[in-house]
Homo-oligomer: A and B are copies of this chain.
Amino acid sequence: MSEALRGGLIVGQSGGPTAVINASLVGVVEEALRHLEITHVLGALHGVQGILEGDVVDLGREDRATLEALRRTPSAGLGSGRHRLQPGDPERILAALQALDVRYFLYIGGNDSADTAHRVAAAAAERGYPLRAISVPKTIDNDLPFTDHCPGYGSIARYVAIAARDAGRDTEAMRKVDPVKLLEVPGRNAGWVAAAAALGKRSDEDAPHLIFPPERRLSLDRFLDAVRRAYDRLGFVVAVVAETVRDEQGDPIGTAAPEMGTADAFGHRRLAGAAAYLCREVASRLGLRARWDKPGTLSRSSMTCVSEVDLGEAHLVGRQAVKAALRGETDRMVTLIREPGQPYRVSTGLAPLADVANQERHLPDEYLTADGTFVTPAFLDYALPLIGGPLPEYARLRKVRFLGPG
């Protein structure tokens, strides 16, 4: 047990928002307000950018009802960002923390945020400034190492599972008009979000019928062949495509088709994404009308599909981060550890930030079928407990043929 370190705590949110990142924030604030050695509880607006620019708020002056409602408010209440540390930034951040008399630096985010927290911790160690820097895991991408899963994932997994099932019912009904539907989902370089589309599937008819994660290169010929075979079997097809899926050359899907739309002014994004391009190929090469849906950022900030398990765990890791800092830990990320056996439950642990930062955990081979177009039962076992209970039941008519009156 390290001796008590007296001073302020600052918390920030970083990276893409989630449905539950505010639950982590509330967990941090609630726990911090319980301990006398934490003299003031501050919030950095838009992550470390707020520290660098002096945009810091006093979270001790928020009322209880606001914090309670914030727990079920999606997106990042403090504002988030993607500030990349510039040379000298860790030292500038440290100086600002010192001026604020902050001894506890809690940073809620993903891989890049862990890197930021690590570099601030390193700067503090180098200067001999007593600072406890703890990272709180958060990412829909579920790609942080050392943790069983990431807060934020369970809720987008539930969203995508419901969306895929709804897309299935919609396409099944409209099979005579638009028999192919592509659902484009986020997930950076990992296919965890795309894979989650399978979590609502109960029968061969249920969507999705195909899943294309970024872990596998997508061959257009094999894609079209898989769509054709599913269509021949069922009369309609729903395929889930990760927005970051790449072709056999390793380029984003559709790169070789300049008529797909030019990039934006920043050169980052093509106008029409993977699903739009693949739809066109399905139409022109298979002669099947195809539509695509791209819920985009709606999928990460939806409270209508929140996983109660995810919401609870997000709050838990926030509280545990403060407790770890008070115990004397620093330069660590809180992790979730799945306890063996049933029912599903977790405990928390810690992992060194230096090892977490900038690492990505991809879908392992055992979670994908041999042809890479669907998930295995092992993935379902892993992910089902995270979405917080079964999806609402849908019915399907028996459709007994009528053989004539009388």
- Contact (Cβ within 8 A) A399 B45: yes
Docked complex Cα distance between A163 and B290 (Å): 24
**At the interface with chain B, which of A79-87, A222-230, A339-347, A349-357?**
A79-87
| Contact across chains for A75 and B169 when beta carbons are under 8 A apart | yes
Task: Report the separation of the CA atoms of residues A297 and B301 in the bound assembly, to the nearest whole angstrom.
Answer: 19
Q: How big is chain A's contact interface, by range?
A: 35 or more
- Which residue of the partner chain B has the closest CB to A81? B176
Also in contact, A271 and B261, with CB within 8 A (given A173-B75, A397-B62) = yes
Asked if A144 is an interface residue, CB under 8 A from chain B, the answer is no
A-B contact pairs, 30 of them (CB 8 A): A16-B174, A17-B173, A40-B402, A40-B405, A43-B399, A57-B402, A58-B400, A69-B394, A73-B394, A75-B166, A75-B172, A75-B173, A77-B173, A79-B173, A81-B174, A101-B406, A167-B301, A169-B301, A170-B297, A171-B297, A183-B298, A261-B272, A261-B280, A265-B284, A266-B283, A266-B289, A272-B272, A291-B297, A292-B296, A293-B295
Known contacts A42-B402, A261-B261, A271-B280; is A17 also within 8 Å of B169 by CB? yes
A66 contacts B174, C-beta separation under 8 Å: no
List the number of copies, as a whole number.
Answer: 2
- A46 interface residue per 8 A CB criterion: yes
Tell me if A262 is interfacial: C-beta within 8 Å of chain B: yes
Smallest distance from the beta carbon of A238 to chain B beta carbons, Å?
11
Q: Is A336 an interface residue (CB 8 A)?
A: no
Residues of chain B with a CB closer than 8 A to A241's CB = none
Query: Hey, which chain B residues are within 8 Å of A76, CB to CB?
Result: 173
Asked if A296 contacts B294 (CB within 8 A), the reply is yes
Do A43 and B397 touch (CB < 8 A)? yes
Query: Which residue of the partner chain, among B100, B280, B392, B397, contacts A264 with CB atoms under 8 Å?
Result: B280
